[in-house]
Amino acid sequence: MRLTQLYGKTLRETPSDVQLVSHQLMIRAAVMRSTAAGTFAYLPLGARALHRARQLVCSAMDGQEFIGQDGILSNEINSYRDLPKVLYQNDQTRINLYSLAADSAHQPFESSLARILKECDLNLTTIDDGDNAKAFALPHAKGSYNFVRCDSCGYAATKDAAKFVIEDCGCEEEILKLEKVGTPNCNTIASLAEFLDIGKCQTLKAVMYVYQKSEGSGRPFGFVFVVVRGDLEVSERKILNVLGGGTLRPATENEIKAVGAVPGYASPRELNVISNLQSPREASNNQVIVLADSSIHTGRNFAAGANEHGYHFINVNYPRDFKATLVADIASPIDGLRCGVCHNSYLRVVNGIKVAGYAPRRTAKAASTYLDAQGKPQEIIVSSCEIDLESLLVSIIETHHDDRGIIFPESVAPYDVHLIRLGKTEEARTAAEALYEKLPNVLYDDRDESAGVKFADADLIGLPIRITVSDKSLKAGGAEVKRRNSEAKEIVPLEKILPKVLEPSGG
RNA sequence: CGGGGUGUAGCGCAGUUGGUAGCGCACCGCGUUUGGGACGCGGGGGUCCGCGGUUCAAGUCCGCGCACCCCGACCA
């Protein structure tokens, strides 16, 4: 491709309104543009990079493409002879992969993904997402994907799946008499702890939800009053697991009042608590499900709301002072909890850019069976893997760039070679044109621009190999070859350029 | 959901007490340059986010709305 024909121009100035360096560089390098809706559009250079990434993923996964709903996937599997299979579905910027296998031990995705990341020279953190599911993300301060990681053993997990230890807080205390105290303007845990001069772990936090069971029988909705130690947070996913699916949304002020609680000073005391989840829902609508996190056992004499504006109870102890429908593990880790794997150090909350997710699962559909060698029906084990090519590209560029621009690894570079012609002499022009005809996969800067402009654009776009043809290089015996990831320059005779380019990098 | 910010040429931005819409980059033409974003001269390009109001006069002041960005958002 000739640069004079390429759609899209490089920008000298950094666009505002994008915070990631990779986005800034991609916009400047004419790889993509931002659109009004806050999304991105890919120019030809970007489309080629995504295309290369897609090819890399598909070939590494060694799968077969299909188009349509994933529901048809198991239809063609009748016999153990048909297994295993890897299929994939292409989105514009995503690839959804499915593995159909007879054996749950057959897990092709992780090793293939490792190969892909190696090709891209990309290091991602493997994150435990529960039930053998995994996520793969680049730790990045500006990423929006949160997980926790142990400083010491490197264990990483999503907040909902993390193994952590809640350390005791004041458990040695003697149990004291319940007491109501005035606590003006203490409608947050932080303000309450400060006012009473106690730690947040010595308070109980209340979080209220309205629960909607998904379609079907059973309780249509309910009010869920969650109690957790004040320094912890609540995992909505864990609550839903306890309740058996459905959806949660935060309760409104009116809904809180309707069950007899006081917003800002709510307490599980004196509420109409449902005794167990299986009990049929009774006529009165002020019943609440009280879910207490097991962290209520990791302390004593807590401070908690009094259901009266401006007042809290102190010395609240379970089960003496309030009832719970169920005590379960529903807390979400916060920064600084002890790691539940190595117990040596603490979990830190880390931001990242999620690139891929992997989820083994068993199909629920009765029809998803095959006949084994004995002719007996067996369930097909389906696992899925999703790779986001945009995030992959972003992570690669976040990892591989310098102050001059992108440094594309060969695996996803839109072109392999950036050919530059300097000067207007017939010799240089002829030699450059000849090279352009000979080289595969080359971007040719045939513009009448000054050397500085051309070099700066080549650095910005960041193709792996730069080849410069000029009067100077010809006089020296050929063309100058330089790799983007190195400062070394080498004059190579014109007839030896092609083998030189085909050499593996680093050579 | 709350708080703050921004909205003016393709991009980055200025625009004073209200008085003819500006600068840099990019773009077009001519010329000089050609190994690290070079220069001269000439040029084109605007729904100043939208709607309403105040005014002789609004990019500027007032009100409402929209969009985007940042920060906070487990609260009893």
What is the tens place of the pLDDT at every residue in A402-434?
Answer: 999 999 999 999 999 999 999 889 999 999 999
- Residue A363 banded pLDDT, cuts 50, 70, 90: low
Q: Which of A299, A332, A365 is the last residue of a domain?
A: A332
Q: Does at least one atom of strand B sit less than 7 Å from the CB of A462?
A: no
Has residue A476 been placed in a domain? yes
Q: Do A229 and A321 sit in the same domain of this protein?
A: yes
Lowest mean pLDDT among A72-86, A151-165, A205-219: A205-219
Q: Do A273 and A232 sit in the same domain of this protein?
A: yes
pLDDT of residue A281: 56
Task: State yes or no: pLDDT of A378 exceeds 60.
Answer: yes
Share of chain A above pLDDT 70, in %: 95
Q: Do A146 and A80 sit in the same domain of this protein?
A: yes
Give nearest nucleotide to A428 (CA–C1').
Answer: B34
- Which CATH number covers residue A184? 3.90.960.10
Q: Do A32 and A90 sit in the same domain of this protein?
A: yes
Task: Taking residues A433-452, report their average pLDDT.
Answer: 95
Burial of A504 (0-12, 13-18, 19+ CB in 10 A): exposed
Task: Taking residues A155-169, report their average pLDDT.
Answer: 92
Q: Do A210 and A252 sit in the same domain of this protein?
A: yes
Mean pLDDT, all residues of chain A:
89
Which among A273, A275, A217 has a CA at the least distance from the CA of A246?
Answer: A217
Give nearest nucleotide to A491 (CA–C1').
Answer: B35
Within 388-417 of chain A, which residues have Cβ less than 7 Å from strand B? 404
Has residue A340 been placed in a domain? no
Task: State yes or no: pLDDT of A2 exceeds 70.
Answer: yes
Has residue A343 been placed in a domain? no
Q: Do A39 and A113 sit in the same domain of this protein?
A: yes
Task: State yes or no: pLDDT of A284 exceeds 70.
Answer: no
Q: Do A316 and A436 sit in the same domain of this protein?
A: no
Task: Taking residues A480-504, report their average pLDDT.
Answer: 94
pLDDT of residue A283: 44
Q: What residues make up the domain containing A139?
A: 21-162+350-398
CA distance A391 to A136: 11
A465 bridge partner residues: A417, A483
Better pLDDT: A82 or A210: A82
Task: State yes or no: pLDDT of A507 exceeds 50.
Answer: no
List the A11 CA – B24 C1' distance (angstroms): 13
- Which CATH number covers residue A50? 3.30.930.10
What is the tens place of the pLDDT at every residue in A219-229?
Answer: 556 788 999 99
Residue nearest to nucleotide B76 (CA to C1'): A264
Q: Do A65 and A119 sit in the same domain of this protein?
A: yes
CA distance A314 to A318: 12
Give nearest nucleotide to A468 (CA–C1').
Answer: B35
Task: Taking residues A385-402, report their average pLDDT.
Answer: 96
Q: Does at least one atom of strand B sit less than 7 Å from the CB of A207?
A: yes
Q: Do A468 and A423 sit in the same domain of this protein?
A: yes
| Separation of CA A139 from chain center | 9
Q: Do A219 and A138 sit in the same domain of this protein?
A: no
Which among A400, A491, A375 has a CA at the least distance from the CA of A49?
Answer: A400
Has residue A115 been placed in a domain? yes
What is the tens place of the pLDDT at every residue in A300-344?
Answer: 899 998 888 888 999 999 888 998 889 999 999 988 899 999 999
- Which CATH number covers residue A474? 3.40.50.800
CA distance A495 to A479: 10
What is the tens place of the pLDDT at every residue in A241-255?
Answer: 888 878 788 887 778
Has residue A419 been placed in a domain? yes
Task: Taking residues A207-212, report their average pLDDT.
Answer: 85
Give nearest nucleotide to A39 (CA–C1').
Answer: B68
Residue A166 tokens read as 């809640």
pLDDT of residue A364: 55
Burial of A152 (0-12, 13-18, 19+ CB in 10 A): middle
Whether A405 and A25 have beta carbons less than 8 Å apart is answered as yes
Most confident of A27-41, A60-74, A95-109, A485-499: A485-499
How many domains, in total, are found in chain A? 3
Q: Do A110 and A136 sit in the same domain of this protein?
A: yes
Share of chain A above pLDDT 90, in %: 61
List the A190 CA – B18 C1' distance (angstroms): 49
DSSP assignment of A362-386: E---TT-EEE-TTS-EEEPEEEEEE
Has residue A58 been placed in a domain? yes
pLDDT of residue A272: 76
pLDDT of residue A106: 78
Within 27-56 of chain A, which residues have Cβ less than 7 Å from strand B? 28, 36-38
Cα Rg of chain A (Å, integer): 30
Task: State yes or no: pLDDT of A5 exceeds 90.
Answer: yes
What is the tens place of the pLDDT at every residue in A9-34?
Answer: 999 999 888 889 999 999 999 999 98
Residue A477 tokens read as 């015996």
Has residue A2 been placed in a domain? no
What sign does the CA torsion over A272, A275, A277, A279 have? negative
Q: Do A139 and A274 sit in the same domain of this protein?
A: no
Has residue A242 been placed in a domain? yes
